[in-house]
Structure 1
Amino acid sequence: MSLWGSITQKADINQYLKKDTQFQQTLKAKDLLALGIGAVIGTGVFILPGTVAATTSGPGVILSFLIAAIVCAAAAMCYAEFSSAIPIAGSAYSYGNIIFGQLVGWIIGWALVLEYMLAVATVSVSFSAYFNAFLKGFNIYLPKSISGPLDPSHSTYINLVAVLIVCMIALMLSRGVSSSMKINDWMVIVKIAIIVIFVAVGLFYIKPKNWTPFFPYGLKGVNTGAATVFFAYLGFDAVSSSAPEVKNPQRNMPIGIIGTLVIATVLYMSVATVLTGMMPFKKLNVADPAAFALQHYHLNWAAGIISVGALAGMFTMMVTMIYSSSRLVYAISRDGLLPNFLGEINSSHLPNNSLIAVSIIIALMGGFVNLNQLAELVNIGTLIAFTFVSLGIIPLRQRKDIVNKGFKVPLYPVLPIISFILCLYLMTKLKLVTWIAALIWFVIGLIIYFTYGIHHSKG
């Protein structure tokens, strides 16, 4: 086969479906919602509404979250249609392989590898910082040498908590999806309960005058705020990687993906409404605006609960992303583009080789590397996947061999095209340094593909 024929070869959906029957279908709609909410709602729910209100939108940040959710909804519905029509592992990577061909699939997969692994590594460092602060409340102090990335000049050698939390989650997931989801479900319930407590308590301290003026920076500020908080919703796409392990995916996948977005929007807007009502928005440009507002009213007990909620939020996010990244690497290796052993399923119907591999890489990144300058790369990886998935709905509808009896994007083809344009627009808002780092990452990816993947492809 010619080079062009190889890179444009489209994967056979029936082969994918046959290979993925090795997974056990144990996940229900509630588990998918827990996965999605676990990924989307992290510490940002207690931080973004305050900082964006103070610097960009004022109380209009409430509408910023709504606008961002509407923009995200278009991409979410595209994901919902794909996961309903093609319930296979690999999420957007596999969709790209089937619709656009092998090279595009690889580029999407390589972007998602970046998104998932870097997101978990970054959050593991934040988890470590919150956990250390939590311990200090009990006068327990971890040595500096094990509390930061490798930097001998500042006497830090490893972020031990970041490494241990990744290893603990990996161990949990290696025992099985069903038991892991039970733990994740409970952690999500704890997180939502803490958000509800904040809203319920904060309602009694709202001063309507704090909402005036509602648009201090004008409608432009609200729109700018929407572009900023858009990234708070990212993560719902990780739900689609669980498709082969879902009962009745045609029904449950759309519920998990779209339901996640709806619930997240309600939670974000509720926190934003209460927070901007409790305090003048200009005072909310602090590291922990929710805790700051509660402490202002001497509600220190509630501020302490916020810290627990932050830890629960980061834990569930890491569970979802480690789970999704292991399924992604399994899918890429299933196709031969990465070493075969990573695409193996064990006797317990789990891709534990890929789980171990991604967990080791994430633990090393979180434990030894300073990730501050790389965090925004998560956004570009996500938007690349969103762009191809949105555009892919059009050729998906034209495929006669793919029958979809489940969810379909409304207002076709207008909505997928709008989603595609919006994703391209948001990518233009990313910093130049992010684009340069992403270019380096994709050059590495193309080298791996043309020196290894294309020669070992099973397509």
Structure 2
Amino acid sequence: MDEKTENITTSVDKQSTDGNYASGSKEKGIFQSVTARYAKVDPHTYLRKEGESSKSFWFRRLIQIKPVELLWDDAEQSELKRALNAFQLIFVGIGAIIGTGIFVLSGLAAAQNAGPAVTISFIIAAIASAFAALSYSEMASMIPVAGSAYTYAYATMGEFVAWIIGWDLILEYMVGAATVGVGWSGYFVKFFAVASNGRIHFAESWTSPTLTWIESPPSIYRGEGHYFNVPGFVIIMLITIILIVGIRQSAIFNTIVVTIKLLVILIFIFALCGFMYPPNYVPYIPENTTGNWHFFGVPGIFAAATTVFFSYIGFDAVTTAAMEAKKPQRDLPIGIIGSLVISTVLYIAFCTIMTGAAKYTDFLGSSVPASVAVEKVMERTGKNFAWLNILVALGAICGLTSVLLINMLAQARVFYSMAQDGLLPAIFAKVHPKFKTPWVATLTVGTITALLSAVLPVNLLGNMTSVGTLLAFFIVHLGVIVLRFTRPEVPRKFKIPGGKYLSLIFPIIGMVISVALIAVAEVTTIWRLFIWMGIGWVIYFAYGIRKSKFNRDPVGRFAEGKRGLPDNTREDEQGYQIEQYEYVPNTNSPNYRA
């Protein structure tokens, strides 16, 4: 058997063994027909059938899936460097998770939505994230390919849904990084202020975003004297350079800053745990007096959960580094679940201490809630905690820096995957010959993110990111269910516990939670998501569907894989020129050993 066909199992004549090989046979049941669409990898079925109308073919292209086997081939042939182990992947997850949520949004959610009960909001968001983490872990162990939810959607629901999720992930990663850039600038200013005892002060005109957003009533305007967020812009461009230089260097840098921020968070918790002021917890759930259910009361807790859900965004970023992991099928689930568990414990402890150290109303309008908590303890007790304020500011800077790094790494890999499929210009799939990183995608992502951070406010960006992520989680949950029935034979290093059917309760509950959290988001946030998706649809139908490799040359797209294509073909009764074969996993590959 030659190299081109070494991983292909050629069937004898399936029509003679089961009496009905043709994929369009009328005798098959609906379920069998759907399953066959996933189980039989036949590039010629992606072509237009004889006598098929252009309208029918056009709609059929929208739901054409990218088979799991072809995704495996893409991973095997990737030019990206495999350099990350399980420990580094956990730090990638923590690096992306712990940042803006704990150092910025925790205070805003407490002051505007939930009061001291913001801790419950974090628990609700953690539960929703846990269901998503299980689904992501199963998908990552089965399809260890860069692209995250975009890739999973392509393998389960077809190209159009994949594009929607890929476009949606821009909200999660790129816009999310811009949110972090705004918070980073605030702590940058705070650090110099507390370290110099107020002697060094940066003007807001060059350290705050140009625009200001008010949720109710919805309005956006240019802030008085606000020109450009220079610190946010500069740090994002520096991170971009680090990401271009190499994945190993990026991982080392991430490990250092994550270690620093974890130490600072632990110091904050243990230093202030003896200075909690019980009256600050009263009322634990403030009464809603505004008439708007988003503000306080029990509904306010769920509204805050939508906001702080942004705090857990990041564990899914682990999956975007799949092509740079040494043992992706084993280590990706470890990275996803491990980082989420560690981050959740720290969030709950941090918020409990923060809302006990200061009244929730003290956090209103502040983007540095940890520093506010320290200052209120100093005012109340007279003790000198200036050293802790300096540490908190330093830890926040390190924490937000790691989030920037991982979000931008993830976004560049999504661009890379979409460009490989032809849905984005091929230049985004270009890998640097020396550094082995998708440098064009990284540079593009970095520049756009830096500009967004310099101009847009944190509350506008944060809410958009949360809703976009929930949509991606919904698709991943659905993808797990689809592949359980359509591709049960595909090896899974990690499988959601509970058996074949009982385990499906977890992705189903995850889907319900995702929809519920989207429903309680601000109406203006949902409208912004719809507008963003509308723009994405225009780009897809104007460019993506015409340039897609599956649509332009599906047989050639399959031939790019090492598995190649055999020569034995015949025409079936539906007009397809089909191949008599099925793909099987390459059991000799170190990345896909069952």
TM-score, L = length of structure 1: 0.91
Instruction: Determine if contact 2:307/2:463 at 8 Å carries over to the other structure.
Output: no
Query: Relative to structure 2, which stretch is displaced further, 311-320 or 340-349?
Result: 340-349
In the alignment, what sits opposite 1:35?
92
SS in 2 for 1:421: helix
Counterpart in 2 of 1:357?
Answer: 444
Whole-Å Cα distance in 2 between the matches of residues 279 and 364 of structure 1? 34
Segments of structure 2 that go 5 or more residues without pairing to the other structure are 1-47, 49-56, 212-221, 288-296, 379-384, 551-594
Q: Relative to structure 1, is the Cα distance of residues 330 and 47 closer, same or farther in structure 2, using a 3 angstrom cutoff? A: closer
Structure 2 residue aligned with 1:5 = 60
Select which of 415, 420, 423 maps to 2:506: 415
Q: Deviations over 1:146-202 (max 9, x none)?
A: 445568995655332222111110111111111111111110010010000011111
- What is the alpha-carbon distance in structure 1 between the residues aligned to residue 262 and residue 517 of structure 2? 29
Give the helix-richer structure, 1 or 2.
1
Equivalent of 2:338 in 221, 239, 259: 259
Which residue type is aligned with residue 436 of structure 1?
W
Q: Secondary structure at the match of 1:87?
A: coil
Give the deviation of 1:436 after TM superposition: 2.1
Q: Which moves more between the two structures, 56-65 or 157-166? A: 56-65
Distance 1:326 1:445 in 2: 17
1:320-375 deviations in whole A, cap 9, x for unaligned? 00000000000000000011111122323221111111112112222345565343
User: Take 1:226 and 1:373, find their aligned partners in 2: how far apart are those partners?
Assistant: 16
> In the superposition, relative to structure 1, how do residues 321 and 284 fare at CA in structure 2: closer, same or farther (>3 Å)?
closer
* Alignment-derived partner of residue 339 in structure 1: 425
Deviation at 1:144, TM superposition (A): 6.2
Stretch of structure 1 that moved more, 368-377 or 261-270: 368-377
Q: Tell me if structure 2 keeps the 8 A contact 1:111–1:381.
A: yes
Query: Residue 270 of structure 1: CA displacement?
Result: 1.1
Is the Cα–Cα contact under 8 Å of residues 49 and 275 in structure 1 kept in the other structure?
Answer: no
Mapped to 2, the partners of 1:324 and 1:214 lie a distance apart of 38
Q: Could you tell me which amino acid in structure 2 is paired with residue 167 of structure 1?
A: M
Residue 243 of structure 1 is matched in structure 2 by 322
Change in 2 beyond 3 A, CA 1:110/1:202: same
Rounded to whole Å, the distance in 2 between the matches of 1:274 and 1:126 is 21
The CA distance in 2 between the partners of 1:286 and 1:149, in whole Å, is 14
The answer for the alignment partner of 2:215 in structure 1 is none
CA distance in 2, matches of 1:130, 1:316: 14
Larger Rg: 2
**Cα distance, 1:440 vs structure 2:** 1.9
Q: Is the 8 A contact 2:306 2:466 kept in 1?
A: no
Aligned partner of 1:350: which letter?
T
Deviations 1:383-429 (A, max 9, x none): 11011101111111123386233111224211111111111111111
Q: Distance in 2 between matches of 1:407 and 1:56?
A: 37
Q: Residue 140 of structure 2 is aligned with which of 71, 75, 83? A: 83
- Superposition map of 1:133-172 within 5 A: 133-137=190-194, 138=196, 139-142=199-202, 146-149=206-209, 157-172=227-242
Equivalent residue for 2:387?
301
- Distance of 1:282 and 1:122 partners within structure 2: 23
Structure-2 change in CA distance of 1:392 and 1:171 (3 Å): same
- Partner of 1:367 in structure 2? 454
Distance 2:388 2:270 in 1: 11
> Which SS does the other structure have where 1:78 is aligned?
helix
Cα pair 1:87 1:249 within 8 Å, conserved = yes
**Whole-Å separation in 2 of the counterparts to 1:230 and 1:362:** 21
Residues 288-297 or 107-116, more deviating: 288-297
Q: Counterpart amino acid of 1:290?
A: A
Distance 1:302 1:427 in 2: 37
Q: 2-side partners of 1:121 and 1:368: how far apart?
A: 9
Once superposed, what is the RMSD of the aligned Cα atoms? 2.7
Contact kept, 8 Å, 1:35 with 1:320, in 2: the verdict is yes
Cα contact 1:85–1:402 (8 A) shared by 2: no
**1: CA distance, partners of 2:223 / 2:376:** 39
Taking the TM superposition and a 5 Å limit, the aligned residue runs for 1:142-221 are: 142=202, 146-149=206-209, 157-206=227-276
Deviation at 1:311, TM superposition (A): 1.0
Change (3 A) 1:260 1:455: same
Contact kept in structure 2, 1:49 and 1:268, CA below 8 Å: no
Deviation readout 1:305-330 (Å, 9 max, x if unpaired):
11111111110110000000000000
Q: Is contact 2:412-2:445 (8 Å) kept?
A: yes
Letter in 2 for 1:329: F
One of 415, 432, 452 as aligned partner of 2:523: 432
Query: Which residue does 1:124 correspond to in 2?
Result: 181
Contact conserved, 2:101 with 2:310, CA < 8 A, in 1? no
Q: Kindly provide the amino acid, as one letter, of the partner of residue 394 in structure 2.
A: V
Q: 410, 435, 442: which is aligned to 2:533?
A: 442
Percent identity of equivalent pairs: 37
TM-score under structure 2 length normalisation: 0.71
Matched, 1:292 2:372: yes
292-301 or 306-315: bigger deviation: 292-301
Unaligned ranges ≥5, structure 1? none
Q: 1:419 to 1:153 in 2, by over 3 A?
A: closer
Counterpart in the other structure of 2:466: 379
Partner Cα distance (1:129, 1:277) in 2? 23
In the alignment, structure 1 residue 323 sits paired with structure 2 residue 402: no
Q: Judge conservation of contact 2:280–2:359 (CA < 8 Å) in 1.
A: yes
* Contact preservation (8 Å) 1:334, 1:344: no
Q: Contact between 2:172 and 2:465, CA under 8 Å: does it hold in 1?
A: yes
Please identify, of 73-82 and 200-209, the stretch whose mean Cα deviation from structure 2 is larger: 200-209
Deviation of 1:292 (Å): 2.7
Q: Which residue of 2 aligns with 1:92?
A: 149
What amino acid does structure 2 have at the position aligned with 1:181? A
Q: CA deviation at 1:219?
A: 6.3
Residues 326 and 351 in structure 1, CA contact (< 8 A), matched pair in contact too: yes
Counterpart residue type for residue 35 of structure 1: V
